[in-house]
Amino acid sequence: MTSISLPPPFSLIALDRIDSTNDEAKRQAANGAGHGTVVWAGEQTAGRGRRGRLWVSPPGNLHCSFLLHPGNTPATAPQLAFVAAVALCDALLELLPAAPFKVKWPNDLLAGGRKIAGMLLEQGSPWIILGVGVDIAHAPDPALYPTTCLRQLGSGAGPFDVLAGFCGHLAPWYERWRQEGFAPIRQAWLARAAGIGGPVTVRLADDTKFDGRFIGLDEEGALLVETSDKKCKAILAGDVFFSE
C-alpha cells in the first residue's frame, strides 16, 4: 500500500486488510509501539463500533486507529472522543467548506443529518486507542441512523487525504486538551453540534427511551437534556435520535 507522511507526532502503519485497526493498535502497543502510532487499513474484516456493533468497512472508506498516551486520569479519557470529533469536523470542512458537517453526541459526525463518521475509544494502561471510521466512497446500509459519504457530497478526496487532514487538525486540538483541559474542547464541540436546542429522543443502555430537548454538555462531556417536566438530566451513555 502506498505510504504517506503524517504530521508529528503521528507515524503510520499501513495495511491492506486487517481484522480491526483497533485490535492491531492494541497488538502494536503490546509490542512497544509509542504514542502517535497510527494503524490504517484499506479494509477491515471485523470492524466494530460502540457497544460491539458491526462497523461495515469496505475498501475506499477510511479505517484507522491511533495509539495515544495522554497521561490524563481514566475519568477524562472519554473526552478524547470530543477532541477527535472537533478535529475531524474541521478536516472535512477543509475538503468541502460548504457541506453541512456537524458533530453528534457522543462520537459521531453528520452531514445533512446523515452519519458520515464515527469513533470508538478503548482504554488500556497507559494507552488509549482512538478508532476512527469515515465513509468516503461508500455509505453502508443504515442501521440506527441514515448514512452518507463524501462521494455523495461531491468530494473526490481519498482515504489518504482525509487521514492526513485529520492528523493535521487532531495534533493541535489534542495538545490544547492536554494543556487547557476540557473547557475549550467543550466550547468548540458545542459550536459544531447538531440538534442543539431542539427535540431529541434518548435511548439508554437498558433500551428505555425518553424525549426531551438537547440543551448542552456538562463540564465532563455528559449530554444535558431538558425533560418534559423541565428537569435537566445528564446522560453518560446512550443513543440520541433527532426528531424529524
Question: What's residue 144's pLDDT?
Answer: 74
Mean pLDDT of 154-167: 95
Coil vs helix vs strand at 121: strand
Residue 49, pLDDT above cutoff 80: no
Q: Is the pLDDT of residue 243 over 80?
A: no
CB 65 within 8 A of CB 24: yes
Q: What angle do CA 163, 236, 63 make, to 5 degrees?
A: 20
Distance of CA 239 to the CA centre of its chain: 14
11-191 CATH fold: BirA Bifunctional Protein; domain 2 (3.30.930)
Q: Give me the residues paired with residue 133 across strands.
A: 63, 118
Q: What is the mean pLDDT of the chain?
A: 90
Q: What pLDDT is stored for residue 237 in this prediction?
A: 87
Comparing 75 with 187, the larger pLDDT belongs to 187
What is the b/e burial string over 71-96, where b = at least 16 CB atoms within 10 angstroms of the residue's CB?
A: ebeeeebbbbbbbbbbbbbbbbbebe
pLDDT at 52 over 60: no
Percent of the chain with pLDDT over 70: 93
The predicted model scores a pTM of: 0.92
b/e for 122-145, b at 16 or more Cβ within 10 A? beeeebbbbbbbbbbbbbbeeeeb
| pLDDT digits 0-9 by tens, 87-116 | 999 999 999 999 999 999 989 999 999 999
Report pLDDT for 29: 95
How many C-beta neighbours within 10 Å does residue 11 have?
14
State which fold the 199-242 domain adopts.
SH3 type barrels. (2.30.30)
Higher pLDDT, 30 or 49: 30
Largest CA distance in the chain: 57
- Whether pLDDT at 239 is above 90: no
For residues 17 and 5, which has the higher predicted lDDT (pLDDT)? Answer: 17
Task: Considering the chain, tell me which residue range(s) the CATH 2.30.30.100 domain(s) occupy.
Answer: 199-242
Whether the pLDDT of residue 168 is over 50: the answer is yes
The answer, yes or no, to whether residue 1 has pLDDT greater than 50, is no
| Angle between helix 159-180 and helix 183-191 axes, rounded to 10 deg | 140
Instruction: Report the candidate in 53, 46, 130 with the shortest Cα–Cα distance to residue 85.
Output: 130
Domain boundaries for CATH 3.30.930.10 within the chain? 11-191
Judge whether residue 36 has pLDDT over 60. Answer: yes
CA gap 239, 203 in Å, rounded: 5
Q: What is the pLDDT of residues 75-85, one digit of tens each?
A: 788 899 999 99
**Phi/psi at 173 (5° precision):** -65, -40
- pLDDT for position 2: 45
**Which among 93, 126, 130 has a CA at the least distance from the CA of 109?**
93
More confident residue, 2 or 12: 12
Confidence of residue 143 (pLDDT cuts 50, 70, 90): low
- Report the run of H or E that residue 104 belongs to, with start and end: strand 101-104
pLDDT at 60: 94
- pLDDT-based confidence at residue 12 (cuts at 50, 70, 90): very high
